[in-house]
Amino acid sequence: MDYFKNLLELLRIEREEDRKTYQQLTETLSAAERRANGITWYPVAIKGSELSRGDYVTVEVERTTHQDLVHQFRFGASAALFSNHDPKNDRVAGTVAYQGGNRLKITLRTDELQDWTRQGRLGIDLLFDDNSYDEMQNAIKLASALSEKPAEGNLIQVLTGEKAPVFNTETASVNLPSLNFSQQQAVHKILSAENLAIVHGPPGTGKTTTLVQAIKALIAQEQQILVVAPSNTAVDLLSEKLADEGLNVLRVGNPARVSEKLTALTTDSKMAEHGLMKEVKKLKKQASEYKNMAHQYKRNFGKAERDQRKALFQEAHQIMKEVDKTEQYILDDLVSKAQVITATLVGANHYTVRNLKFNTVVIDEAGQALEPTCWIPILKVRKVVLAGDHCQLPPTVKSSEAARKGLSTTLLEKCVALHPEAVILLEEQYRMNEAIMAYPSTVFYQDKLKANVSVAHRLLFSEDTPLNFIDTAGCGFDEKLEGTSTTNPEEAAFLFKHLTQLVAELETYYSAENFPSIAIISPYKAQVELLKEKFKDSPELQKYESRISVNTIDSFQGQERDMVYISLTRSNTTGEIGFLADIRRMNVAMTRARKKLVVIGDSATLTKLTFYADFITYAEQRNAYQSAWEFV
């Protein structure tokens, strides 16, 4: 089918670009530089090792220095243990079996630790992630093959637009008094769908709450459901909320947030609690002892010793086979009892659930999911529920060619366009003052959003205005090129002057304990760095350090604050606005604020794009337009 041929080609381009970037990062850099890029832990100390499935050895390591550095190690990632003594030869590859805090477990493709692990300083390198790409590629090929078959191909044909989705008109509506009207409609749509339902959840509309109730209602019909999302954080949130509702949740893979509550839901934790685990521990200890005995026969020995050594290794091997069998039994038992299995999209093919089939999969945050990853769980089911918001940020695509040719268009976006009858828009939001909400609602949500009465008119204090656009046109705040990014030093200085005045005013209404939360965001990394510097140099603001965060727009998706400042940064005579033209990013930025939104920018540069021209007109109508001159 051409649809999948095209998708495979896009995936190939993306994989090559990703590999190229990875090789550039790794081949020329020292361990310290790789560490700074988040792809190496060095140095590490081995904290323990044990035999694991398939006779492999799993090693637990801890990073002993540079513990505050952000890194990219995740459960399921390919990695290698190396010694700095001879990093090219002294290395062994494996898979990250657990990562939490400054510890990780790596299952190495070997049955014992080599001698070099006892010499020199050790480190762990992240390897290029061929595994995820292989999973995606295999899923697309399988979907392509199945799409031609009448029975198995039905869902695939719906998702690719060859067939229309079917709804059961007999489905009785459920009474869920805790949900509003559009949320109840969404649950009903999900229950009545035979193959596809879509929940479009704009910011603050309670998408997670709705999904949790829908999953509970589905469980009553189906015994077991698969729930997935592109990021560990999104999977964690749903896992926790579903468990709070009393459902038996099994979290496959590694949570990003290591809370006790979440850890208790993981396969590792549930296996450890299982009655048969004592037996497994005893057997593992026995196998280890046999291996240690075998190692006591050094190189120079005769036939009798060689036979003895071989017999000991065989005995250890037999015991480990028994361990594998028992562990598999425990796992099957846990999996069969779980009502909800949660995982990331790629994690849906983890060995624990690889061969399972379900009736329904719920894909949350589908607006952030690369389409090839979605096919991994879809091939296990007859019905898909897509939930997300394609009017917010799309997934990250590393190759600009692949993005341009369509890889950044998500399955959610395609299905919304193909099957509007499958979509329910959640219309009531519980986050923003209605003045902050109204403009994004008009542009992105056909003017359908309503603010719940609890939030519609809330302000920081009674005389405050919920929205401000401060126009820097004519102030000579010119942008500067900083590497590949853009900064605007005067705009940054102005923002802090404005914020400092506002904070002084807020101090008359709030104590330090209940001071409002504030986000300062910009689409440009270099501007964010500059804003962070300025924040450090503002003693009046530093005392509220725990309440104020400065970061890029992308890092705030899914979050909210009482007050948000946006520094638009661009100011030039040619009307160049670069990726400010991606208005979905601005939708995310504008919808983070609960009680007050302050947007600072140069109207002369911005108004070349209708989106900003209309926003400024909207601000004028709402009496929310000010010129920076009034403050200068």
The predicted pLDDT at position 75 comes to 82
Residues 167, 243 within the same domain: yes
Query: Are 593 and 480 in a shared domain?
Result: yes
pLDDT (tens digit, 9 = 90+) per residue, 455-492? Answer: 999 999 999 999 999 999 999 999 999 888 999 999 99
- For residue 367, what is the DSSP state? G
CA distances from 291 to 279, 387, 428, 601, 606 (A): 19, 51, 63, 69, 70
At which of 426, 449, 477 does a domain end?
426
Is residue 366 situated within a structural domain? yes
Whether 319 and 420 share a structural domain: no
Q: What is the CATH number of the domain that holds 227?
A: 3.40.50.300
Q: Which pair of tokens denotes residue 495? A: 């923002």
Question: What pLDDT, in 10s, does the model give residues 265-323?
Answer: 999 899 989 988 888 888 888 888 887 787 777 656 678 878 888 888 888 888 888 88
Share of the chain above pLDDT 70, in %: 99
Residues 203 and 91 in one domain: no
- The two structure tokens encoding residue 325: 């069998």
Does a structural domain hold residue 377?
A: yes
308 and 413 in one domain?
Answer: no
Q: Looking at 314, 336, 358, which one is the last position of a domain?
A: 336
Question: Would you say residue 255 lies in a domain?
Answer: no
Give pTM, 2 decimals: 0.91
- Predicted confidence at residue 434, as pLDDT, reads 97
Q: What's residue 300's pLDDT?
A: 60
- 3-class secondary-structure state, position 384: strand
Q: What is the mean pLDDT of residues 84-88?
A: 78
Q: Where does 22-64 show beta strands of DSSP type E?
A: 40-51, 57-63
b (16+ CB within 10 A) / e for 186-203: bbbbbbbbebbbbbbbbb
For 119-158, write each residue's pLDDT tens digit: 778 899 999 988 899 999 999 999 999 998 888 899 999 9
Examine residue 8 and state whether it is found in any structural domain, yes or no.
no
169 lies in the same domain as 155: yes
- Judge whether residue 216 has pLDDT over 90: yes
pLDDT (average), residues 509-532: 96
Residues 407 and 487 in one domain: no
Look at residue 548 and give its three-state secondary structure.
strand
Please indicate, yes or no, if residue 553 is contained in any of the structural domains. Answer: yes
Does 599 lie in the same domain as 506? yes
Residues 254-266: pLDDT tens digits? Answer: 887 767 889 899 9
State which residues form the domain around 292.
273-336
Domain count, the chain: 4
Instruction: Examine the fold and report which residue of 360, 394, 426 is the final residue of a domain before the chain moves on.
Output: 426
Check pLDDT > 80 for residue 352: yes
Verify that 461 and 610 share a domain, yes or no: yes
Tell me how far apart the alpha carbons of residues 527 and 465 are, in angstroms, rounded to a whole number. 26
- For residues 242 and 139, membership in a common domain is answered with yes
- In-domain check, residue 177: yes
Three-state secondary structure call for residue 6: helix
For residue range 386-445, list pLDDT tens digits in order: 999 999 999 999 999 999 999 999 999 999 999 999 999 999 999 999 999 999 999 999
Q: Would you state the pLDDT for residue 381? A: 96
> Is residue 571 situated within a structural domain?
yes
Q: Do 475 and 555 belong to one domain?
A: yes
Looking at the structure, do residues 281 and 312 belong to the same domain, yes or no?
yes
